[in-house]
A = this chain, B = another copy of it.
């Protein structure tokens, strides 16, 4: 068992705080190859729960899971030019096997639009074969230059949905529906409020007609793209020749979408809810919801028996509880529980047992509540619900209170420098977005579907032209 290190306070250095808590919380270890990480049981357990919960939501949209190969033949990726260009610098390339050079190179999938294209081509003959609504939970690889655990790693885990439709309206509707699935899921399970909207042309996915996004705000107020849903139109179906006989007996190219969330959600979770004691895992996604700790257990057999009885009672009531019966002291165990982000801690000592009480300690507010032993299940469930809600509300309040409208580029620079987000009329193109990014570090996050603040200006803060396109800007992970 490793000793716990000191955690750098968030206010002092947020980046160091992040590294400290993921190491101390036993979430990850660095992998053998640069830019790779190992998901230890706690972080993989959270990802497994994300997978289970999100997959259930997918099923309500008739999504079917499949598995497509890891390797993309060179010739296949070259079929869609924008897409190839977007990913080319990051493509890990297999050129040899067992020391022998291959005739054709293979890329490790950075995403699988081209593989699905090649697959769909043979699956679709008539409008009766549509829609196809597929998804896969897989690893992908993008050879990033700068990496950050969970947030940006060369290899990451994700789900990627890929669908085919007989008309654009149906495909566009699904693109929007899947974004809504993400929005609801992030709220309900990860307690993550988001700003939903459309990416600008400059920030959309390479190969998409348009990209929808859910943008979250971390505790340092930086933005994190938490999920995207792309309407691909016929951009992949034309080069891949995915056509079908429509109802009028005409051959027509199908319409596609793709959408995904990845293990960067773990980073989002940590940076949204964590505090100076460590991470905080929302109860609905926590592999362990309750740490049960005996005070002076070594000296007291009756406490140990009672503890085991109560733990069983909690387990029988579908609460994920763990009894820490190692020979560490109760102080260490409590700190250990906090640093691992377990949402609730229950303590039982000799005094408690005498009074027929247990003490419930919330990880989010650190409040202690003495409750009668008979009420332990009910009280634990209530508190876990409260914690889930409180985590969401706190994050929501932060998101709501950090938008600022600007009317000039000078104001824009000040707001961005202060760490807040700008929401303002903007009609600049990709070239202007590049300049703004270079000069301020901020990027366009999205054109929100719903405005979190009232917008007063009707002129672009940069070009000064009249526009009703309101765009959110922020520095982002």
Contact = CB atoms under 8 A, between A and B. Distances in A.
A177 interface: no
A123 B88 CA distance: 36
B67 A33 contact: no
A358 interface: no
Q: Which of A1, A72, A94, A134 has the most chain B CB atoms closer than 10 A to its own CB? A: A94
Nearest to A119: B38
A141 B36 CA distance: 18
Nearest to A63: B41
Contact of A31 (B44, B68, B125, B141): B68
B70 A155 contact: yes
A48 interface: yes
A98 B94 contact: no
A76 interface: yes
A157 B67 contact: yes
Contacts of A94: 92-95, 108
Contacts of A31: 68-69, 115, 119
Interface string A102-143: 000010100000010011001101101100001000110101
Copies of this protein in the complex: 2
B98 A88 contact: yes
Contacts of A40: 66
A97 B106 contact: no
Interface string A188-232: 000000000000000000000000000000000000000000000
A251 interface: no
A97 B38 contact: no
A164 to B, nearest CB: 14
Contact of A66 (B38, B118, B129, B138): B38
A90 B97 CA distance: 6
Contacts of A33: 69, 71-73, 106
Nearest to A143: B97
A65 interface: yes
Contacts of A157: 67
A181 interface: no
B138 A139 contact: yes
A126 B3 CA distance: 13
A248 B99 CA distance: 46
A33 B134 CA distance: 20
Contact of A141 (B2, B70, B93, B125): B70
Interface in A382-410: none
Given A38-B119, A44-B67, A94-B95, 15 more contacts: A29-B119, A32-B69, A32-B115, A32-B118, A36-B71, A41-B64, A41-B134, A44-B66, A69-B155, A89-B97, A90-B97, A91-B98, A93-B95, A93-B99, A139-B139
Interface of A: 1-2, 29, 31-33, 36-41, 44-45, 47-48, 64-73, 76, 88-99, 106, 108, 115, 118-119, 122-123, 125-126, 128-129, 134, 138-139, 141, 143, 155, 157
Q: Kindly list the 9 A-B residue pairs having the minimum CB-CB distance in the complex, ordered from nearest.
A: A39-B67, A41-B64, A36-B69, A89-B98, A31-B69, A97-B143, A32-B118, A95-B95, A93-B96
